[in-house]
């Protein structure tokens, strides 16, 4: 992604002006989390951030992501971040979208858990985007109205690798693993508001079909039996 250094650079930034830091950030020499503290300080002083070379939406996302970590996980910022892999700012902004639209009684705990999963790398942007869309859709259903689109990357498509191109592709395996983790999270959220019986009446068939496919992956003997049954049906 343009403008995103995947790791904290660890450069000595003492004495650098905000404009100098912005140039370093846009040239991919420092990460957003090294740039954001200066943004935070400058905005608190009332300085105009619109004159920076960074696009406004990237500046806004970096600042919002930094403030979320600063408020919820200050210990993360105090540690040695040199060489640490970072989530992109938009991912952390999606976490706040989920929190904003959630009606869960334990939404504060949910925020902490999601933040930990993002900072550890367990959840990446695609999974968080799915959860944010699901939370807004759920709120829309409950309110009967239109929920505003506060997507930090409005209009960005979800990229799905074609099945015929995913065989032996490690990226697709990682994507599927992350999707399963996200799916488990969504199941927990749904079961907090619905019983197994109620869910079964709506999505029982889909769950059965999905379990068959997952069992084929999980168990070689099951896969062989499934092939035999399929051949007999044909």
What is the rounded average pLDDT for all residues in the chain?
81
3-state secondary structure (DSSP) of residue 103: coil
DSSP state for residue 208 in the 8-state scheme: H
Supply the DSSP string of 141-192, one letter for each residue.
HHHSSPPP---TTTTPPPP---GGG-TT-HHHHHHHHHHHHHHHHHHHHHHH
Mean pLDDT of 118-135: 84
pLDDT digits (tens, 9 = 90+) for 13-72: 999 999 999 999 999 999 999 999 999 999 999 988 888 988 888 899 999 999 999 999
Q: How far apart are CA 56 and CA 197, in angstroms?
A: 48
pLDDT at 18: 93
Cα 84 to Cα 5, 39, 103, 137, distances in angstroms: 11, 21, 33, 34
- Please work out, in degrees rounded to the nearest 5, the angle formed at the alpha carbon of residue 228 by the alpha carbons of 224 and 232: 170
Model-level pTM? 0.63
Cα 113 to Cα 108, 110, 189, 217, distances in angstroms: 9, 5, 13, 29
Q: What does residue 145 show for φ and ψ, rounded to 5 degrees?
A: -120, -165
> What Rg do the C-alpha atoms of the chain give, in angstroms?
22
Range in 39-43, 128-132, 151-155 the model is least confident about: 151-155
pLDDT digits (tens, 9 = 90+) for 189-207: 888 888 888 888 888 888 8
Q: How far apart are CA 63 and CA 163, in angstroms?
A: 38
Whether residue 83 is predicted with pLDDT greater than 80 in this model: the reply is yes
């Amino acid at each position: 992604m343009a403008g995103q250094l995947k790791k904290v650079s660890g450069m000595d930034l003492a004495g650098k002006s905000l404009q100098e830091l912005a140039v370093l950030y846009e040239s991919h020499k420092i990460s957003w989390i090294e740039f954001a503290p200066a943004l935070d300080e400058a905005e608190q002083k009332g300085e105009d951030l619109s004159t920076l070379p960074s696009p406004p939406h990237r500046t806004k996302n970096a600042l919002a992501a930094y403030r979320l970590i600063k408020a919820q996980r200050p210990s993360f910022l105090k540690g040695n971040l040199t060489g640490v892999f970072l989530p992109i700012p938009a991912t952390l902004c999606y976490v706040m979208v989920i929190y904003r639209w959630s009606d869960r009684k334990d939404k504060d705990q949910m925020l902490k858990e999601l933040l930990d999963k993002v900072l550890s790398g367990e959840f990446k942007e695609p999974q968080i985007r799915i959860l944010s869309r699901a939370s807004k859709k759920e709120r829309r259903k409950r309110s009967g109205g239109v929920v505003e689109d506060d997507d930090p990357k409005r209009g960005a498509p979800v990229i799905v690798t074609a099945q015929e191109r995913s065989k032996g592709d490690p990226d697709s395996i990682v994507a599927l693993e992350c999707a399963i983790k996200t799916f488990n999270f969504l199941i927990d959220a749904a079961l907090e508001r619905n019983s197994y019986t109620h869910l079964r009446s709506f999505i029982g068939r889909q769950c059965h079909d999905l379990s068959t496919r997952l069992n084929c992956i999980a168990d070689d003997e099951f896969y062989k039996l499934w092939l035999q049954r399929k051949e007999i049906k044909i």
